[in-house]
Amino acid sequence: MPYVCLGDFLNALADSGDLVRITAAVDAVLELAAITEQVSKSAPDGGPAILFSNVRSGGWPVVTNLLGNPRRLARALGVQSLDQASLMGSTANAADTPSGWWNVLRWGASNPAESRFTPKAVRQAPCQQVVKLGRDVNLWELPVPRHWPLEPNPSFTAGLVVTPGEADDVTLSRAPLQLIDRQRLLPHWPADTTVWRQVQAARAARRQLPVAIILGGDPLLQIAAAATDWTGLPPGYLWPGSLRGESLTVVKCRSHDLLVPAEAEIVLEGFVDPDAAWESLIGLGLATGYGIEEALAPVIQITAVTHRAGPVLPTIVPAPPPNEETWIRHAVDRLFLPAIRQLSPDIIEFHRPVSGARQQLAFVSVRKPRPHAARSVMHAIWGCPGLRDVKMIVVVDAAINPQHEAAVWNAAALHVDPRRDVVLADGPTSADDHAAVVRGVSGKLGLDATAKRPDERHPRVWPQPLEFTDETWQQVAGRWSEFGLPAEWGTRTTHSVFPAPSPSGRGLG
């Protein structure tokens, strides 16, 4: 069952010991982010979620690192581990309406009105228990963190942005938003995003663009909204509903007609005025571990703030990887493994490591039924809109698990002849890639680290890797208790640079 609201998720985390409550007074300016950064980097697998119940400059609790751990991401998705997330998309039944989000994705896109995951509208909602309109709106009253010294102002980093979609639907996306005065925000909307195109269309038509920022609610919404770049997704709330296995309950905003999740903690409503001058967005921290390049951004004029009677403000601390954002991206990659495999029949496993901020570096294992299969896989990935930010790809053989970085780089070091196995191309990249000479456009690098076939211009005999047979492993495992060694050491190791593939032969997915 999905989590109805953020409070339900926090209670579940508390019951399982995965939530730390800090009752000491903490400053929202730098101190809160510094504590979160220290915990997330020091504790295993990203550490626990942290609830700050006594934040200076605001009367509300603030929760950080909410999804900064694979265990909590799996809990939000309703699976035992993230490696099971890709299986969520492959279940099906004989009913007219398919099950599994991957089937819903394809079926619901053409039949949205008939889907059982269509959102349900209500007239009253917990997110509107308290309503402030017009002059009563003062964003400085909220305990919005300022995360880093280079940031001139606080920023909302865990907000989900709702804008109008086609017909009566909405577009759901994610973006950090910098607070510049009591009623105005500057969003970080790169030029290659759907929201950016909506803003440009509204300016050309000289009409206001309504916007709502959702804070809190079912934590699964963060994961769903992070997949906005994938084409073919059903619009609006249908895709999150299919992931949840249950439709969302929504309510109309108080100052415009956009629908927002009824169980959200806080909702900021506003408009982008086509005639308002754009302002400089500077110093905003990013999940790459660097600050944003200064750029002009449209202003969101906030017209209403609604919230629960006792809300909790979520925030994501942008920081050098690993961080909460990189874990969310990893969850999206696991969910979309079925889609990635459809890019090429040769793809077995796909992984974006934390060393590339789970964004610009990818490891892929493949079959090689024909020469240069690795190169065709590289170009298939670069041509996928959901993976356009990947600028470096390392392709390895099926026997190597891409989630073991040492194995991938060992293959790159031993299997690559730089004169033959390096692929260079050009294409789009993230607007936040500061290495790109032209913003949003980058060179692409591919390394074919697979064993070479004779028809790939390798006339020499390729050597065999040093591996024990399954029979030897079973023999040793059966006698392990005789050796006086720790029992956990007897598990077939992944310390080698040749870790064993999964029994299915299809990687961890």
Rounded CA separation 371/344 (Å): 14
Domain coordinates in residue numbering, the chain? 6-324, 336-509
pLDDT over 50 at 503, yes or no: no
What is the pLDDT at residue 1?
A: 66
Residue 163: its pLDDT value, please? 95
Tokens of residue 201, six digits: 């269309």
pLDDT at residue 94 in the model: 34
* The model's pTM: 0.87
pLDDT exceeds 60 at position 216: yes
pLDDT, tens digit, 9 for 90 and up, residues 448-464: 999 888 888 888 888 88
Decide which of 2 and 170 is more confident.
170
Burial string for 111-148 (b: 16+ CB within 10 Å, else e) reads: ebeebebbbeeeeebbbbeeebeeeebebeebbbbbbb
Rounded distance, CA 17 to CA 15, Å?
6
DSSP 3-state percent helix, strand, coil across the chain (nearest 5): 30, 25, 45
Instruction: Please name every residue paired with 164 in a beta bridge, in sequence order, or none if there are none.
Output: 170
232 vs 120 pLDDT, higher one? 120
Q: Does this chain's domain 6-324 share its CATH topology with 336-509?
A: no
* Range 6-324 classified under CATH 2.60.40.3470: no
pLDDT in tens, 333-363: 998 888 899 899 999 999 999 988 888 999 9
More confident residue, 294 or 301: 301
**CATH number for the domain formed by residue range(s) 336-509:** 3.40.1670.10
pLDDT of residue 115: 66
Beta-carbon contacts of 243 under 8 Å, excluding residues fewer than 6 positions away, are 77, 88, 101, 220, 223, 224, 335
Which percentage of the chain shows pLDDT scores above 90?
59
Q: What is the pLDDT of residues 146-200, one digit of tens each?
A: 999 999 999 999 999 999 987 678 999 999 999 999 999 999 998 888 899 999 9
